[in-house]
């Protein structure tokens, strides 16, 4: 179970449970160096600076994402939350298909796992600009949906439970796949660990 255990500022970087070269060739060590080491680190640093003296100084990361108004505080908090789930759901030795209640819900709400993958990939490919494509549930164990969110968007702000996510900002794939977002989505399926989404569901 991924715990985003960030009860109040200052928030710390999530620790990666694998070596930065472990996801290659799907995601290279160079991408991890930039995406985790520079982009995410910058969001965390910005967030800690913004939150220090304001009304959210005693709030958890998740509370800030749920309640902060649109603007720099929300953007940096949500980017920290989103990237934490994104990185921690990836694995060099993933469970490549869901089983149990999540698999049953995918069959119920999308028809089949293959139909879900096709619809999710189409959504991620079709998102214009920078953002995130989410699999979310309306509640634990509830109805599933695919949510396209621009910029730092997160289904928590719609009262939904995020289960898994692909980062479709160009910074997530440009080093490894250049402009080919479709290739980066194909690579994503090789390293997404369904155990994480199952435990969140």
Q: How far is CA 90 from CA 32, 83, 119, 136, 181, in A?
A: 12, 11, 20, 17, 18
113 or 174, CB closer to Mn ion?
Answer: 174
- b/e string for 54-79 if b means 16 or more Cβ within 10 A? eebeebbbbbbbbebeeeebbbbbbb
CB of 172 to Mn ion, least distance (A): 5
CB of 16 to Mn ion, least distance (A): 14
| 105 Cβ contact list (under 8 Å, min separation 6) | 137, 141, 143, 144, 201
Residue 142 φ/ψ, nearest 5 degrees = -90, -160
CB of 183 to Mn ion, least distance (A): 17
CB of 5 to Mn ion, least distance (A): 21
Q: How far is CA 133 from CA 7, 12, 24, 185, in A?
A: 26, 25, 22, 11
102 or 149, CB closer to Mn ion?
Answer: 149
* Chain residues that interact with Mn ion, rule: CB under 5 A: 167, 169, 172
CB of 49 to Mn ion, least distance (A): 19
105 or 172, CB closer to Mn ion?
Answer: 172
31 or 198, CB closer to Mn ion?
Answer: 31
CB of 35 to Mn ion, least distance (A): 6
User: Residue 150: left (phi > 0), alpha (psi -120 to 50), or beta?
Assistant: beta
Q: Closest-CB residue for Mn ion?
A: 167
33 or 118, CB closer to Mn ion?
Answer: 33
Integer Cα distance of 19 and 37 in angstroms: 13
169 or 201, CB closer to Mn ion?
Answer: 169
């Amino acid at each position: 179970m991924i715990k985003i255990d960030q009860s109040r500022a200052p928030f710390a970087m999530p620790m990666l449970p694998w070596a930065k070269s472990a996801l290659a060739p799907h995601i290279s060590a160079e991408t991890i160096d930039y995406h985790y080491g520079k982009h995410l680190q910058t969001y965390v640093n910005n967030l800690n600076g913004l939150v220090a003296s304001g009304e959210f100084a005693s709030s958890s990361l998740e509370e800030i994402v749920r309640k902060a108004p649109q603007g720099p505080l929300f953007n940096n908090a949500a980017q920290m939350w989103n990237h934490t789930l994104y990185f921690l759901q990836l694995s060099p030795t993933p469970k490549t298909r869901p089983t149990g209640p999540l698999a049953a819900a995918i069959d119920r709400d999308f028809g089949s796992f293959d139909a879900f993958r096709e619809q999710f990939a189409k959504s991620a490919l079709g998102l214009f600009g920078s953002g995130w494509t989410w699999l979310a549930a309306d509640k634990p164990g509830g109805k599933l949906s695919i949510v396209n969110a621009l910029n730092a968007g997160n289904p928590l702000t719609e009262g939904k439970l995020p289960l898994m996510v692909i980062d479709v900002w160009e910074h997530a794939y440009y080093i490894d796949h250049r402009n080919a977002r479709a290739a980066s989505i194909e690579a994503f399926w090789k390293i997404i660990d369904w155990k994480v989404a199952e435990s969140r569901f």
